[in-house]
Amino acid sequence: MVVPSTPTPVYAPVISSFTANPSYIQPGQSSTLSWTVNNTANVSISPSVGSVPNSGVDVVTPAYTTTYTLTATNSAGSVVASTTVTVAPYVGSTYYTGGAYTGTSTATSITTDPVSTASGSNGTLSWWLPYILLVALLAAAAIIIVILLLRKPAVQAAHYGGARSGTMPAVTSPVATLPATGSHKTSPVTAGPPAKFAASNGGEISLSGDGAPLGRRDFQHMVPPDKADLISRQHITVTYDNGQYYIEDPGSTNGTRLNGSSIKGTGRHALKDGDTIDLAGALSFVFRS
């Protein structure tokens, strides 16, 4: 009795590696392609290289950035892999003449293949244009940023002056100056007993409970500069009525939270010692009475 033989299975090729070293070269330099293919196969590399063994190396000198593709084929199928050799752009006074880089010249211009073979005229190397445009855009952006930075303090000063003008009640004594400890003082207490807002960084604001709006200008010494703009110019008011301090956010841009709850547009809320207030997610402080 003859036992039929089991045919040996054929597996598709496996490309274990396909690399270019170095993968970034200057014009006229060479790169070495290296590859390894498992399972017997017909192997080829394009462009220019052609048929190669299952493993080996080949030195290439591309004139411009080139992607090389390795194809391995046997009866079970075909697989491909690619690797790219990047050729650096023009450096110094090297000339590219359409086939290879041809040395150096004292001339500063660069010539390319004829743009129009019919007329025989030569064109300039157009790939310089994106770099020129990029430099121009960066310069314009830098000028705009400088102008905005120079204008911002003046605009903010005008806004603060306009917001305060006609809204602050008249006071008979001057506003206290910033003491050496870094705390900030508003008008002297006229409506309620001593109370203050105290931040963890040591900043303080003394409260009078007179209902005057408090905003960005009042808290700017307590908040990081990059978050000051989150606080509205007139963000909250603090009043004192019948032995009780109250806080209200009548309509700030980014809201206020009292002990974690939003109070924007919800009227007055009584304050007690130890209450936590958060302005616009930019500044958190504690009410102390």
**Contact status, residue 288 vs residue 263, Cβ threshold 8 Å:** no
Q: 201 and 116, same structural domain?
A: no
Instruction: Print pLDDT tens along the chain (289 aa).
Output: 666 667 777 788 999 999 999 999 999 999 999 999 988 779 999 998 999 999 999 999 999 999 999 999 998 889 999 999 999 985 554 444 444 444 444 333 444 444 444 344 444 556 678 888 889 999 999 999 988 888 765 555 544 444 444 444 444 443 333 333 444 444 433 467 889 999 988 899 999 888 889 999 999 999 999 999 999 999 999 999 999 999 999 999 999 999 999 999 999 999 999 999 999 999 999 999 8
Q: Looking at residue 127, what is its pLDDT?
A: 66
Q: For tokens 């244009």, name the residue.
A: 129
Q: Looking at residue 131, what is its pLDDT?
A: 83
Asked whether residue 62 is domain-assigned, the answer is: yes
Asked whether residue 129 is domain-assigned, the answer is: no
Asked whether residue 203 is domain-assigned, the answer is: yes
Q: 63 and 23, same structural domain?
A: yes
Q: Looking at residue 11, what is its pLDDT?
A: 83
Q: Looking at residue 4, what is its pLDDT?
A: 66
Q: 109 and 81, same structural domain?
A: no
Q: Looking at residue 112, what is its pLDDT?
A: 43
249: which DSSP letter? B
**Contact status, residue 79 vs residue 72, Cβ threshold 8 Å:** yes
Q: Name the pairing type of β-strands 236-241 and 261-262.
A: unpaired
Q: Is the sign of the CA dihedral 281, 221, 175, 192 positive or negative?
A: positive
Asked whether residue 108 is domain-assigned, the answer is: yes
Domains: count for the chain: 3
Radius of gyration (C-alpha) of the chain in whole angstroms? 38
**Contact status, residue 257 vs residue 263, Cβ threshold 8 Å:** yes
Q: 268 and 202, same structural domain?
A: yes
Asked whether residue 174 is domain-assigned, the answer is: no
Q: 67 and 15, same structural domain?
A: yes
Q: 99 and 33, same structural domain?
A: no
Q: 202 and 224, same structural domain?
A: yes
Q: 284 and 259, same structural domain?
A: yes
Q: 109 and 36, same structural domain?
A: no
Question: Domain limits at 252?
Answer: 195-288
Asked whether residue 140 is domain-assigned, the answer is: no
Among 89, 106, 132, give the residue marking a domain's end: 89
Asked whether residue 265 is domain-assigned, the answer is: yes
**Chain centre to alpha carbon of residue 272:** 42
Asked whether residue 154 is domain-assigned, the answer is: no
**Contact status, residue 31 vs residue 49, Cβ threshold 8 Å:** no
